Structure 1
Amino acid sequence: MKASIRTKFSLGIVFLFIIILLLSILSAFYLNKLSKKTSAILKENVISVISARDMSEALNNINQEITSSFFNKRIADSIFIDKELKLFERSLILEKSNITEIGEDKLASAIEVGFNEYRGSVVKLISSKQPVANMPELQKEFNNLYPQFGALSKLNEKAIEIKTDDAKISAKNALIQMTIIGAMCFLIALSLTYSFASYFNERFFQLYNGIKEIVSSNYGQRLYFDGKDEFYEISLVFNEMAEKLSESYPKIASMVQEYSEKELTLNDIQELKMILTRIKDIEEQAIELISKLENKQ
């Protein structure tokens, strides 16, 4: 099968494009992998930490309002308390829908049970005519419930730390793998470029020397290129030209010798001029081709 120079160039460019595409795909793969790990940390654990913080703040606000109203001998702000209870409920629902760690479900259930008891005591205290009697029980429930938010937060913070370390290890491994793959692709591309350069330099050099030999009247010079590309076709044309010159030169020399020994007619002179003109044209073409090759180099 004939493989032209254009085909070889095209295949080389396609191969380089494949290398670039491979590096792009691998980069996208590793970035997506790291992105998923980061998203998992955000979705699975950070949300739980935020929920624990919000529940803690809501419960603390309720307790402060009740305590303040008790010591200041005023009625607790039921609207404010109801608002904080709803905020607590929303955070609790969000946490229950985001259970990711071992033991987190039991902790969330315990918080829910403790909150229901605390809410019942709050409602009872607000509606009671003697709230002082319910304060000790309410404070006890608060003290039992409040530390569980810290436990929930610590559980997820520990998970964040572990997953962050895992993401760092994955990033380091991805960097090492991408470095190795990138180096391999670079070496392959460098080898391909060197092979192309060597291929063309060698053939241009042989062609250049061959033409110089012809110009120097060495008509026995021949070119031999492997393969079936344009250089091979050029070598066939070159060898054919050299063969014709090699065959014509003795005849021309004989004719010149013959003409020098006898009186030349006008037709003989015209024929000799045509032969010399043809030789001159071939020489000029060879010189022009040498000049082009030198400019390319």
Structure 2
Amino acid sequence: MKIKTKLRLGFSLLFIIILILGALSAYYLNKLSAEAKLVLKDNYETLEYTRLMLYELDKSDFGSSLNNFERQLIKQESNLTEPGEQVLTVKVRHHLEQLKATDTLNVAKHQQQIRASLNKIMDLNLKAIIFKNELANKTAHSANLFLIFWGGICLLITFSFIVNFPGYIANPIKLLTEGIKEIEAKNYNKRLSFTSKDEFGELAQVFNSMAQKLHDFENSNLAKILFEKKRIEAIINSMNDGVIGLDEHQHILFVNPVALKLFGLNENDLVGKFAPDVALKNDLLKDLLNNHVNHELKIYADAKESYFKKEALNILVPQSNLYPEKNIDYAFTNIGSVYILKNITAFHELDEAKTNFIATISHELKTPISSIKMSTQLLKNKQMGDLNPEQNDLIESIQDDTHRLLKITSELLNMAQLESGHIQLNILPASPIEILDYAIQATKTQAEQKQIKFEINYSDTVSKVLADKEKTAWVITNLIANAIRYSHEQSVINVKMLETTKEVKIIIEDQGQGIAPQYLDKIFERYFRVPGTQKEGTGLGLAISKDFIEAQGGNISVDSEFGVGSVFTLTLVKSFS
């Protein structure tokens, strides 16, 4: 029998028990209600009619009360419920008719007869009320006994169901859970023995089949697994990069020869050891395990200084994957990590050659470009002769291109200095107000050409900052020039300065086109220019600005809303000397 059928039968039994109790309760309640209704309605009304008739009969002037008496008698005649009540009522009617027709001398006689008949009617109904009350009590007593009997039986059946039925469901599940735990512990000899021919029996058969297949799989694939392990070890050992593997408890599992050479240790000094303990005596391993160390590592290898990049990979495996054909998301468990030391010396040498090349070319170009600029200034000098309008336009075009080339070569030189680490910073206490005023004056002419106004807001008591005055002025000038370039004509650029406990912030806010959200995290990258903008510049200004400020211990950030404008925030460290 299936579990579903057993559940249905069990709950159906409970439903039938509840239905029987409810039906019996309703039956006896209706019976008691009907008997009580008879007592209250029929007999009580008869007593009320006879009481009123006696009241009218006892009046001194019965003649005036005769009509009231007869109305009550008519009501009584229509409410005859007990045996013998009709005969007595007919006698009352008979005596009443005689009373109406007799003389005054016989009135008392007929009244006495009527009173006797009414008293008998009252006595008859009182006895009926007592009898029906006894009958109702008997019915209530029988109902109580019957309901107690059936309630006890139902209680026993329900209690037996509550005690035994959960065990029927829970015990096989408990055994199945224990079996699964054994399989999880790789005890593939575990078997379940359910004798029932229901879903639990089928589940036990499937479980036993699965355990047998896992047992066969483990035994049949052991040699293959060992072969694959040796092949993976051969691949790792043949890699040109240093590789070291750790388990989830940070014990070293393997180290390839390249890594051994870099660490300067033997395999026996590493494999099987707790990595943090070894790192106490080996700085390279300490940097490798430190998740906060992401910079290039300089290591003496191959008889020269070499550069390596660290990569850390966490090895995650699904907790359960018995049904790979089903599209099910599994929780993953970390079983260890692999650290790779990639040799990037060749790339580093190429980058250094590129930097030297750019520095050399920029330096060599700067002198002839400066000469061209000087020559154009001499040509515009009236002492050299007057120029016609076409010549004047040509000279101005040459000057604009010369200015742009000088700016490009200056930015390339700055970038080369930054990349080579040869940048010279003269960090001293400086007034941020003087730096900001210089930048505003330097861009004033550019702003007037587009009729752009500055709204400047800062306190005259702003503290000094630790900065290279020349480099910082160049950065702020570059930021304001960008704000002017990308602002609409006749707009406003807000420049303000805020001071906190440890920092001074210079905020430059424009009302230009803004920067699209997808480009915000790229604008400080070298050579990046927002698509669709003017083709002016090299895309190096913001990258160099960021490097200059960060080299001074500061920070530069941007917040922009496309179509509204951009806000650049320059943060400098306060000077407390």
**Structure number having the greater strand percentage:** 2
Partner residue, 2:230: 264
Change in Cα spacing, 1:269 to 1:171, as seen in structure 2 (3 Å) is: farther
Report deviation, 1:177: 0.7
Whether the 8 Å CA contact 1:56–1:149 is kept in 2: the answer is yes
Other structure's SS at 1:101 match = coil
Partner residue, 1:161: 130
Partner residue, 2:87: 106
Other structure's SS at 2:37 match = helix
- Distance (Å, rounded) in 1 between the aligned partners of 2:234 and 2:207: 30
Q: Which amino acid aligns with 2:99?
A: Y
Could you say what the CA RMSD is over the residues aligned between the two structures, in angstroms? 3.2
Find the partner of 2:75 among 94, 97, 115: 94
Aligned length: 245
Find the partner of 1:206 among 175, 186, 191: 175
Alignment of 1:9 with 2:36, yes or no, is: no
Whether the 8 Å CA contact 1:4–1:228 is kept in 2: the answer is no
Partner residue, 1:242: 211
Find the partner of 2:146 among 162, 169, 177: 177
1:70-115 deviation digits (Å, cap 9, x = unpaired): xxxxxxxx7xx2xx32332232223223333332222111111111
Partner residue, 1:65: 61
Change in Cα spacing, 1:17 to 1:269, as seen in structure 2 (3 Å) is: farther
- Distance (Å, rounded) in 2 between the aligned partners of 1:108 and 1:85: 16
Partner residue, 2:405: none
Report deviation, 1:278: 9.3
Partner residue, 1:189: 158
- Distance (Å, rounded) in 2 between the aligned partners of 1:41 and 1:247: 86
Superposition pairs of residues 279-294 of structure 1, within 5 angstroms: 281=320
* Alignment gaps of 5+ in structure 1: 67-77, 122-133, 271-276, 289-297
Q: Which amino acid aligns with 2:50?
A: A
1:201-252 deviation digits (Å, cap 9, x = unpaired): 2112211221222233321211233445442333233112101111122223
Partner residue, 1:71: none
- Distance (Å, rounded) in 1 between the aligned partners of 2:87 and 2:230: 123
- Distance (Å, rounded) in 2 between the aligned partners of 1:251 and 1:181: 64
- Distance (Å, rounded) in 2 between the aligned partners of 1:208 and 1:236: 15
Moved more, 208-217 or 106-115: 208-217
Larger Rg: 1 or 2? 2
Percent of pairs with identical residues: 33
Change in Cα spacing, 1:19 to 1:135, as seen in structure 2 (3 Å) is: same
Superposition pairs of residues 215-234 of structure 1, within 5 angstroms: 215-234=184-203
Q: Give the TM-score normalised by the residue count of structure 1.
A: 0.71
Change in Cα spacing, 1:144 to 1:268, as seen in structure 2 (3 Å) is: farther
Find the partner of 1:44 among 36, 42, 45: 42
Report deviation, 1:256: 5.7
Alignment of 1:118 with 2:117, yes or no, is: no
Partner residue, 1:143: 112
Change in Cα spacing, 1:249 to 1:280, as seen in structure 2 (3 Å) is: farther
* Alignment gaps of 5+ in structure 2: 237-315, 323-329, 331-577
Change in Cα spacing, 1:97 to 1:44, as seen in structure 2 (3 Å) is: same
Other structure's SS at 2:10 match = helix
Other structure's SS at 2:173 match = helix
1:14-65 deviation digits (Å, cap 9, x = unpaired): 332332222221111000111111122234322221221121122223xx12
**Structure number having the greater helix percentage:** 1
Whether the 8 Å CA contact 1:55–1:88 is kept in 2: the answer is yes
Other structure's SS at 2:111 match = helix
Whether the 8 Å CA contact 1:48–1:153 is kept in 2: the answer is yes
Other structure's SS at 1:221 match = coil
Partner residue, 1:69: none
Moved more, 237-246 or 28-37: 237-246
Other structure's SS at 1:264 match = helix
- Distance (Å, rounded) in 2 between the aligned partners of 1:269 and 1:96: 118
Q: Which amino acid aligns with 2:104?
A: M
Partner residue, 2:16: 18
Q: Give the TM-score normalised by the residue count of structure 2.
A: 0.39
Report deviation, 1:150: 1.3
Other structure's SS at 1:153 match = helix
- Distance (Å, rounded) in 1 between the aligned partners of 2:199 and 2:216: 26
Change in Cα spacing, 1:85 to 1:201, as seen in structure 2 (3 Å) is: same
Other structure's SS at 2:61 match = helix
Other structure's SS at 1:252 match = helix
- Distance (Å, rounded) in 1 between the aligned partners of 2:204 and 2:33: 58
Whether the 8 Å CA contact 1:203–1:231 is kept in 2: the answer is yes
- Distance (Å, rounded) in 2 between the aligned partners of 1:48 and 1:235: 78
Report deviation, 1:140: 2.2
Report deviation, 1:266: 4.3
Report deviation, 1:268: 9.6
- Distance (Å, rounded) in 1 between the aligned partners of 2:78 and 2:202: 76
